[in-house]
Structure 1
Amino acid sequence: MKLSKTIIAHRYGSALFALAKEKDVRKDLLAELLELKKAVKDEPRLMIFLTSKQISLSTRRSILEKMAISSSELAANLLRMLFDYGRISSLEDIINEYIRLNDIFEETVRATVTTAIPLEEKQKSKLTSAFAKLVGANKVILDEKVDPTVIGGVVLRSDDYVYDGSLKLKIARIRRMLLK
């Protein structure tokens, strides 16, 4: 029976997180995994290379070993195990699961804020502290996006919450009321 990517990510991510907590390297491993995720995202051909059956196993393994050598023991073992079990293509999903578990542990919420113009630091600070209080988080990490179609105001999205205080929405509401 073949396991889904979600199940694989959950199992490996949970085990990795538990082990990192046990060894007291949770934050260090998080930083390393974020770098690894960025490297995979910046060079998408790497995963194609590592999973390609047209390239010899020894060549693929030598590239993986170069990645493992520059990694911590936990990250290197993860890379080797995923490669050996033919699950290296799930690496990014496993990293995402580790990040999710770490966010729960640290009571951190990740949110996307969309505005018509870039926010100033003071505005970001007020927004993050207000949102943290609203959702009961210790920390909010904002991913900023600029979208001129918002016109004004803020659209804030996290996994469980959407707040649309944009001028675009307000204009649409007024328009619907006028058309009734």
Structure 2
Amino acid sequence: MAQSSNYSTVARPYAQAAFEVAQEADRLAEWGELLDALAALSQDSASAALIQHPAIVPADLADALVDALAGVDEAGANFIRLLAERRRLMVAGAIASQFAELRAEAEGRMTVEVYTARKLDEPSADKLRKALGERLGRKIELEVIDDETLLGGVVLRAGDLVIDGSVKGQLDRLAAAMSH
């Protein structure tokens, strides 16, 4: 876990820089795709071995990655070269993730994880999406996750906000109240 949080810290300035370049060029979607593709490449076992190999010349590695990611513009190629020169390609996944968060915020979007005991039907999902959008002032994207341990109800996670409307949560709160 320490490595993951370290990656997050190392990735932050790169994600911010990529976001600023992409936003200025009005190319947030294209940069998001580039960073997602770079993240996928960096997580591939063969590519990861090359990225982390100390004998590989960073400029050669960057050129190979730019070629593999056909259609990369000059700004994107320069970004890949910078990551390669600074030996930061292994944090491409964290950069892509943080870039996606910055982009969602700039576009007024938010992904809300919805944990349900059973499948959420589309009318219920639409109603939930609308209510959350009004409460949070954002365009809401739902990520529905089945969780049979909830018994019934839902748990919502939107950033730091957690709303536990599950039967399990209610029973846990009741048990805690009775034990005091």
TM category (shorter chain) comes to 0.7 to 0.9
Q: Which amino acid in the other structure matches residue 52 of structure 2?
A: T
Show structure 1 runs of 5+ residues with no match: none
Q: Which residue of the partner structure matches residue 16 of structure 1?
A: 18
Question: Bigger shift: 63-72 or 118-127?
Answer: 63-72
Seen in structure 2, the aligned counterparts of structure 1 residues 155 and 95 have a Cα distance that, compared at 3 Å, is: same
Seen in structure 2, the aligned counterparts of structure 1 residues 6 and 177 have a Cα distance that, compared at 3 Å, is: closer
Q: Which residue of the partner structure matches residue 108 of structure 1?
A: 109
Q: Which amino acid in the other structure matches residue 125 of structure 2?
A: K
Q: Which residue of the partner structure matches residue 149 of structure 1?
A: 149
Aligned partner of residue 127 in structure 1, secondary structure: helix
Identity across the alignment (%): 26
Aligned partner of residue 87 in structure 2, secondary structure: coil
Residue 31, structure 1, aligned to residue 33, structure 2: yes
**CA RMSD after TM alignment:** 2.6
Q: Which TM-score applies when normalising by structure 2?
A: 0.80
Q: Which residue of the partner structure matches residue 90 of structure 2?
A: 89
Seen in structure 2, the aligned counterparts of structure 1 residues 133 and 177 have a Cα distance that, compared at 3 Å, is: same
Aligned-residue offset at 1:24: 1.6
Q: Hey, what's the Cα distance between the residues in 1 that align with 2:130 and 2:12?
A: 30
Q: Deviations over 1:135-170 (max 9, x none)?
A: 221x11222211111111110012120000001112
Residues 68, 79 of structure 1: 8 Å contact kept: no
Q: Deviations over 1:28-87 (max 9, x none)?
A: 22233334445555x35532331123x644875564243243434333322222112211
Residues 68, 75 of structure 1: 8 Å contact kept: no
Aligned length: 174
Q: Hey, what's the Cα distance between the residues in 1 that align with 2:56 and 2:119?
A: 48
Q: Which amino acid in the other structure matches residue 103 of structure 1?
A: A
Aligned partner of residue 142 in structure 1, secondary structure: strand
Show structure 2 runs of 5+ residues with no match: 1-5
Q: Deviations over 1:76-111 (max 9, x none)?
A: 322222112211112112112211211111121122
Q: Which residue of the partner structure matches residue 159 of structure 2?
A: 159
Q: Which TM-score applies when normalising by structure 1?
A: 0.80
